[in-house]
Structure 1
Amino acid sequence: MNFSYSEKVKELQKKLTEFMEESIYPNEKVYLEQIDKKEPFSKIPPIMEGLKDKAKQAGLWNLFLPESEYGAGLTNSEYAPLCEIMGRSAIAPEVFNCAAPDTGNMEVLVRYGTEEQKEKWLKPLLDGEIRSCFSMTEPDVASSDATNIQASIVRDGDEYIINGTKWWSSGAGDPRCKIAIMMGKNDPDAPTYEQQSMILVPLDAPGVTIKRILPVFGYDHAPHGHAEIEYNNVRVPASNMLWGEGKGFAIAQGRLGPGRIHHCMRSIGAAERALEDLCKRVQSRTAFRKKLAEQGVIQEWIADSRIEIEQARLLTLKAAYMMDTVGNKEAKAEIAMIKVVAPNMALKVLDRAIQAFGAAGVSDDFPLAASWANIRTLRFADGPDEVHRRAVARYELKKYR
């Protein structure tokens, strides 16, 4: 495996880094200030649309989607270091139209969507005109096991009737969110992994109700939001079915592989920024007549952070390389491993940075607390640590049977 970056990737890294320094970092606080405090989910901060236009003009748009006519033609290995740069800021992925859950939903439409579905939903998503949500997790069952899902999708002539309650449908609070990819059970009597289907549900369809926006450690992530959605006798055309009945579980597995790589690289980017902030902070503060940077324990934090970041990055790049060369299925162990390693590593680095900043670290004056809260959710988003560890153990044991 050769992890050196091509000239194309180096040029994109340079352009992205310059864009981040010139346009993203200076506008992070502007973005937060422009969120309507009374109605945070009513409109989008104007700065965002301006940044998106600027990113399009710079050729930094839709960099994901490997092996697709719709993306930038980058492999997973090529996109990974770019995704890391975007992960340094909470607002950056959307600026480049590389934000979850839209990226995963676009990948689903590219792989499994009909031409009609692509024209109606994929094209405006690629253009950044609308946003989407992924409606899978349910409040009444352990959704880490997707076979538990109880929401129903029932055929009725030329339509499907949808009933059930979902939550943590990230992005549904956004006023631009027009479509949900919803996973439900259409045949309880089919084999276990063929009972579920995925279907496209417009959020303005009669019977779709956003009941509430769920906070994450007190953060509402406006205007994006994580919604609890009630589907009450919602009717959609049969043509909204993705791939076919009983294909929901297979689609989920195909969707989550690339998404996990993206989450992991963004986590590494957040960890890099936290380590950078830590190093700057400890050289500017003095305690007990010595700079914090001269304290042995601080130096240990810095060394451990650098070691852990490098380890996580190498394993993630290996997973990306395997996805490109032998496919997502053969890379499933590596994908499971990085999903455990990267968020846990980032949380350690962020925790050290918060400790070095003292009380300032848990405030909103710096991005550390919000970054920690966001990445903490990744230990169960797209599958909890325990499920991934179980999978890795099974793959390992299988070698000796």
Structure 2
Amino acid sequence: MATNSLVDLKQLSPKFQDLYAKTKDFVENDCIPAEKTFDLQMGKGDQRWKVIPPVLEELKAKARSLGLWNLFLGKAYAEGAGLSNVEYGLIAELTGRCPKLAPEAMNCSAPDTGNMEVLAKYGTPAQKEKWLKPLMDGKIRSAFAMTEPRVASSDATNIELNIRREGNEYVLNGLKWWISGAGDPRCALYIVMGKSDAGNANKHRQQSIVLVPADTPGVTVIRPLPVFGYDDAPEGHCEIRFKDVRVPVENIVLGEGRGFEVIQGRLGPGRIHHCMRTIGIAERALEYMMVRVTDPARRTFGKGLYEHGTIVSDIARSRIEIDQTRFLVLNAARKIDQGDAKSALKEISMAKIAAPNMVLSVLDRAIQAHGAGGLSDDFPLAKFYASSRTLRFADGPDEVHISQLGRNELRRAEEIRAKFQSQKEKSQARLAKL
């Protein structure tokens, strides 16, 4: 097994090596060849929100038979596969090469992965039995409802959905949008963040997380929201109204006022998963580009496309950017493995900033090399671009991570100033002796 940038795969566990080889074969020889079949079986119109293509169920059955199931839950969880974040990150890169099918076929797709981690980490035994077990069995799907249309949700303290306790129930009222997975007919659970104590002096203790069954009276999926014209059926990214929605108090996660604690526990490793999948997308885009530009029929101004300096430069830059980003992501995963997500905030932020921007650059070059065909559905590049563009918002927009990273760096300024002063004084002392 070859060295993969920062990590020599041969040095990782035998279990990982077996799963990695199986995943690679499964993605390349089962999932990617099934993409066109999936699109055909999805159909058109309203049917696309009701049908789960049979080919997906076939892939899920095969993945499960190969042991490629729920690999995302790490060593900290009894329910998990026992992989480190570095090991799962490398597997996630492979699944990113077929982002529509491979992650779901292996029960490793967002937002379910993050939601399952919430339940595994914070859920009560009853919550795990009712929701985690069927999610891990792949019998249902779920959605995470945080973003709202009326406020700047990049600062989650702004969210307005009201959670009010009445006796043995919580009552929810509010509007959410861009709720990925909410359109899926299998979506049975919403994990909802709202404001339960708006008067709390600590703005990070005002929020709570509540489990809401999707069929609860008062829950209305208003519409799917397309991304650059793609509606991502059947999952979709939906706008949802919660009107006098009542759930029992035992549906609270971890406790009242602990919503921020829950979402931080949810987002750390999940950001790494997203980043590794973008590397898989970028690798596949670069492959499309190289095949396109070396096609003998593709000639301009008497030369093959690959003979033009700009094309060669684009390929070289793409190779550099992909490997740089892989280094950042694997370094973040390793830091999480050595401590936890909180101890790796700097590394996670750098990876989260770099990966979506990298994949968009690589995809843009690949689209350009394909000419007008790159904008069409004849190739997966346009769809990849649309879905990848959302990742500059998902799990926190670039600007939030950049701001956090910059502030953390500035905390070192006084220490550096003192070091400079010490060096200056030592330099002056040396000069005085001359």
TM-score interval, normalised by the smaller of the two chains: over 0.9
Structural mapping, 1:156-167, within 5 Å: 156-167=166-177
Calculate the aligned-residue CA RMSD, in Å.
1.1
Matched AA of 1:61: W
Q: How does 1:70-81 map to 2 (within 5 A)?
A: 70-81=79-90
* Counterpart among 4, 12, 31 of residue 8 in structure 2: 4
Inter-partner Cα distance in structure 1 for 2:251 and 2:128: 11
Q: Is the 8 A contact 2:63 2:69 kept in 1?
A: yes
Q: Hey, what's the Cα distance between the residues in 1 that align with 2:172 and 2:158? A: 17
* Helix, strand or coil at the partner of 1:182: strand
What is the CA distance between 1:13 and its match in structure 2? 1.9
Contact 2:95/2:103 (CA < 8 Å) preserved in 1? yes
Amino acid at match of 1:56: R
What is the CA-CA distance between 1:273 and the residue it aligns to?
Answer: 0.3
Matches for 1:67-216 after TM superposition, within 5 Å: 67-89=76-98, 90-190=100-200, 191-216=202-227
Q: Which residue of 1 aligns with 2:354?
A: 341
CA drift at 1:2: 6.6
- Residue identity opposite 1:221 in structure 2: D
Q: What's 2:421 paired with?
A: none
Tell me how many residue pairs correspond in the alignment: 401
Instruction: Give the SS at the match of 2:184.
Output: coil
Unaligned stretches of 5+ in structure 2? 415-434
Which residue identity does 1:76 align to in structure 2?
N
Aligned to 1:38: 45
* Aligned-residue offset at 1:10: 2.8
Q: Secondary structure at the match of 2:163?
A: strand
Indicate if the aligned counterparts of 1:137 and 1:168 stay in contact, CA closer than 8 A. yes
1:223-302 equivalent positions in 2, closer than 5 A: 223-284=234-295, 285-302=298-315
Aligned-partner residue type, residue 80 of structure 2 = G
CA distance in 2, matches of 1:91, 1:130: 16
User: Which contiguous aligned blocks of 4+ residues in structure 1 show a shift greater than 6 angstroms?
Assistant: none
- The whole-number CA distance in structure 2 between the counterparts of 1:368 and 1:156 is 50
The worse-fitting range, judged by mean Cα deviation, of 30-39 and 264-273 is 30-39
Partner of residue 393, structure 2: 380
In the alignment, what sits opposite 2:429? none
Q: Write the deviation string for residues 240-265 of structure 1: whole angstroms up to 9, x where unpaired.
A: 00000001011111111111101100
1:356 aligned onto 2:366: no
1:48 equivalenced with 2:19 (yes/no): no
The separation in 1 between residues aligned to 2:294 and 2:212, in whole angstroms, is 53
Aligned to 1:13: 20
What's the CA shift string for 1:80-101, capped at 9, x where partnerless? 1100000011221101000000
Counterpart secondary structure, 1:117: helix
Q: Partners in 1 of 2:138 and 2:267 — Cα distance? A: 21
TM-score by length of 1: 0.98
SS at match of 1:153: strand
Q: Say whether the 8 Å CA contact 1:63–1:71 is kept in structure 2.
A: yes
Distance 1:295 1:10 in 2: 40
Which structure: larger Rg?
Answer: 2
Q: How much has 1:11 moved relative to structure 2?
A: 2.4
Question: SS of 2:149's equivalent?
Answer: coil
CA distance in 2, matches of 1:55, 1:303: 35
2:342 to 316, 329, 349: 329
Query: Is the contact between residue 264 and residue 342 of structure 1 (CA under 8 Å) also seen in structure 2?
Result: yes
**Gaps (5+ residues) in structure 1?**
none
Aligned counterparts of 2:355 and 2:42: Cα–Cα separation in 1: 30
Q: Residue 373 of structure 2 aligns to which amino acid in structure 1?
A: A
Q: Distance in 2 between matches of 1:173 and 1:298?
A: 41
Q: Partner residue of 1:305? A: 318
Contact 2:6 2:327 in 1 (8 A): no
2:418 maps to: none
8 Å Cα contact 1:36/1:42 also seen in 2? no
Farther-moved stretch of structure 1 (179-188 vs 283-292): 283-292
Aligned position for 1:59: 67
Identical-pair percentage:
57
Q: Distance in 1 between matches of 2:206 and 2:105?
A: 37
Shift of 1:291: 1.2
Aligned-pair distance for 1:22? 1.8
